[in-house]
Structure 1
């Protein structure tokens, strides 16, 4: 009987082969599918019944709530969204006077953005509805699983940044996907 020697790494430590990785195992596909399912639920059950804005607008309101007065370029960097998408999504909020815009005294061509009182009230109304949903999702995991998920997500974010930096270095700095302000 001819036996092969066991692999030097355990199954958990074996590297994934980039040449044979099936499409349905792409981490980006799995994460996007989960994110899309959760976003649909949040929009349908918590945002739409309370306010006429969409998920992207509500997220921008959340970023303004979290970071305070800032400009569109900073929102683009924080959210990893395109500045044009940010601009399109902000305009209805500005039109409703939920987001206030004023010229940045430090940079005359830039505008500072902040939530108005009405914008904050609308944001908080949705937040109040969404918190139990988010808590229920997190409570589907044990405390150890939540800590592991946080650790894994952080590790993936760092790995993605390293991979992106290496790809940018190989192609040159002008190939960066996210435009600088």
Structure 2
């Protein structure tokens, strides 16, 4: 059941100085994500395949985007490149992901799903679709549309905040650099 912030009407901005920790959007979304990830892993990944959720997501990105490199997977997934590398290794060891040198870049490798990797991914996908549909069907069409818009708006706000923080760090760095002394 949704809770409202203390002493706030729907039109009032949230006060950053009094926002209770249990109302942090990041906490609420992580709790939801963790609950859903546990169910996903338990109900349709673990019974079908020995890979974990992160590995399965990387397989999905390779299936969706085709042959690419780890840096692109990191950008697309918003995951750390080291985490991508660790998660890809078991898939490469199983020969579900193929790795070959990138002819355009000497220090980079191109990654793609093997036939066996694609078969395993599609097997899990068949299990995943009804679960995901059930989650989305808990919402009305109007709520699904609103959720999509809200997520897009929050992603844009996060990007804007990140850009402003980077500009602030750069300004502070330039202000204290020895060349300005």
TM-score between both structures, scaled by the size of structure 1: 0.89
Kindly report which structure 2 residues correspond to 1:38-117, keeping only aligned pairs within 5 A, or say none.
38-117=36-115
1:15 aligns with 2:30: no
**Structure 2: gaps spanning 5 or more residues:** 1-7, 174-181
* 1:137-170 residue CA offsets vs partner (Å, 9 max, x unmatched): 0000000000000000000000000000000110
Distance 1:56 1:172 in 2: 33
Aligned equivalent of 1:149, options 135, 147, 151: 147
Structure 1: runs of 5+ lacking an equivalent: 1-9, 176-181
Q: 3-state DSSP class of the match of 1:20?
A: coil
Q: How many residues align?
A: 165
TM-score for both structures, normalised by structure 2:
0.89
**1:33 aligned partner:** 31
1:32-89 C-alpha deviation (Å, 9 max, x unpaired)? 0000000000000100000000000000000101111000000011111111111110
User: What is the distance in 2 between the residues matched to 1:12 and 1:144?
Assistant: 20
Structure 1 residue 11: Cα displacement: 2.2
> In structure 2, the residue corresponding to 1:109 is in which secondary structure?
strand
Q: What is the match of residue 165 of structure 2? A: 167
* Structure 1 runs (4+) greater than 6 angstroms displaced: none
